[in-house]
Amino acid sequence: MNKKIGTKILGTGSYFPSKVLTNADLEKMVDTSDEWISTRTGIKERRIASSGEYTSDLAYRASLEAIKSANVKLEEIDLVLVATITPDMFFPSTACFLQKKLGLNSVPAFDFSAACSGFIYGIATAKAFIESGLYKNVLLVGSEELSKITDWTDRNTCVLFGDGAGAMVLSASQDNDDVLSVFLGSDGSYADLLLIPGGGSINPATIETLNEKLHSIKMQGREVFKVAISKMAFAAQKALEISEKTIEDIKLFIPHQANMRIIEAVAKKLDISMDKVFVNIHKTGNISSATTITALDEAIKIGKLNKGDLVELIAFGGGFTWGATVLRV
């Protein structure tokens, strides 16, 4: 009798552009201050891609690191998935551009959009493909250049976002299952609270949409804040229940790095000590789908997580979407 196929995490990687944009830099651009930004968001700096550096470029650098960490041959990758809300173009997909840069000719590749929950949606997607037997080694990437869709005259949003990419290689295994649970949710009735209204079929690009800055992020921060806390805590609890684990079993919690006050509020709601919560928002800002995977990669690299430890990733984003996953690293 064949054993059930499980999903093993083979390796992770991340990449950030070299340019750093500090709160002091933003003070020269809009009516704000380091004190105002730090107090309200926890962010001190963020990375910004250069004009000739694209989402697929960040994805490529993170992917190479993840593949090296996974100790697999490039040609063993048989599916490429990219979570992004800042693709190189509407089409072809950023995954296709990444596939070309990696030299993975004929390997299926596609993008998907779940905003800041994207990487957790991607883990669910990779797990489904692997455990169905369709693919064996999946490269999953979260890559974003939010600087390209930010209104740098809007002080309420421009202080929040940055650029970066993270990647993970997941593989079929009959001996291990490192993805213990995934829980996903969404509610489109909240769509107007966080969106880019221009550029699609509702508001195709015109001189008017450009003048009205409809091609940049619009957010009703106070309303998003309230729902984010509730849904992230709910998702975290559900993923723990599915995995049959408790808060005490988890070595480290990695929430979406959107706002320090949201992170603290979610930890309080779940009754988790901040000592068990990984935070790097102060140096990355919000990088949407790339936040949880880049934070996970950093936690592994600096020894916050060791082989066999359990970690829970939790995220919330535009849509609204939310999700959580319990992993064994």
Is residue 87 located within the same domain as residue 185? no
Single residue among 176, 206, 222 that ends a domain in this structure:
176
The yes-or-no verdict on residue 57 having pLDDT over 70 is: yes
Is residue 193 located within the same domain as residue 323? yes
Task: Please state, rounded to an integer, the average pLDDT across all residues of the chain.
Answer: 97
Query: Considering 96, 158, 256, 259, which one is annotated as catalytic?
Result: 256
Find out whether 114 and 321 touch, Cβ atoms under 8 Å.
Answer: yes
Is residue 51 located within the same domain as residue 198? no
Is residue 13 located within the same domain as residue 108? yes
Domain that holds residue 281: 180-328
Is 256 a known active-site residue? yes
Phi and psi at residue 107, to the nearest 5°:
-70, 130
Q: How far apart are CA 165 and CA 57, in angstroms?
A: 9
Single residue among 157, 176, 195 that ends a domain in this structure:
176
Torsion of CA 242, 248, 254, 258, to 10 degrees: 90
For the stretch 135-182, pLDDT in tens is 999 999 999 999 999 999 999 999 999 999 999 999 999 988 999 999
Query: Considering 23, 137, 259, 286, which one is annotated as catalytic?
Result: 286
Is there a domain that residue 27 lies in? yes
Is residue 116 located within the same domain as residue 251? no
Is residue 78 located within the same domain as residue 197? no
Confidence of residue 3 (pLDDT cuts 50, 70, 90): confident
| pLDDT in the model for residue 166 | 98
* Amino acid making up residue 122: G
Is residue 194 located within the same domain as residue 146? no
| pLDDT in the model for residue 175 | 87
Is 158 a known active-site residue? no
For the stretch 300-309, pLDDT in tens is 999 999 999 9
The residues, ordered by sequence, that sit 6+ positions from 97 with a Cβ below 8 Å of its Cβ are 54, 56, 88
Is 286 a known active-site residue? yes
| Three-class DSSP category at 111 | strand
Is there a domain that residue 1 lies in? no
- pTM more than 0.95: yes
**What is the token pair recorded at 214?**
């409809």
For the stretch 14-47, pLDDT in tens is 999 999 999 999 999 999 999 999 999 999 999 9
Single residue among 176, 194, 218 that ends a domain in this structure:
176
The yes-or-no verdict on residue 2 having pLDDT over 70 is: no
Is residue 139 located within the same domain as residue 215? no
CB under 8 A, 24+ apart: contacts of 23-32:
23/159, 26/158, 26/159, 29/152, 29/158, 30/152, 30/153, 30/154, 30/155, 30/158, 30/159, 31/155, 32/155, 32/159
Query: Considering 96, 116, 137, 259, which one is annotated as catalytic?
Result: 116
Distances (CA, A) of 241 to 132, 161, 236, 315, 326: 23, 32, 9, 17, 10
Render 5-71 in DSSP notation, one character per residue.
PEEEEEEEEEE--SEEEEHHHHHTTSS--HHHHHHHH---EEEE--TT--HHHHHHHHHHHHHHHHT
| pLDDT in the model for residue 114 | 98
* Mean pLDDT, residues 203-231: 97
Is residue 145 located within the same domain as residue 252? no
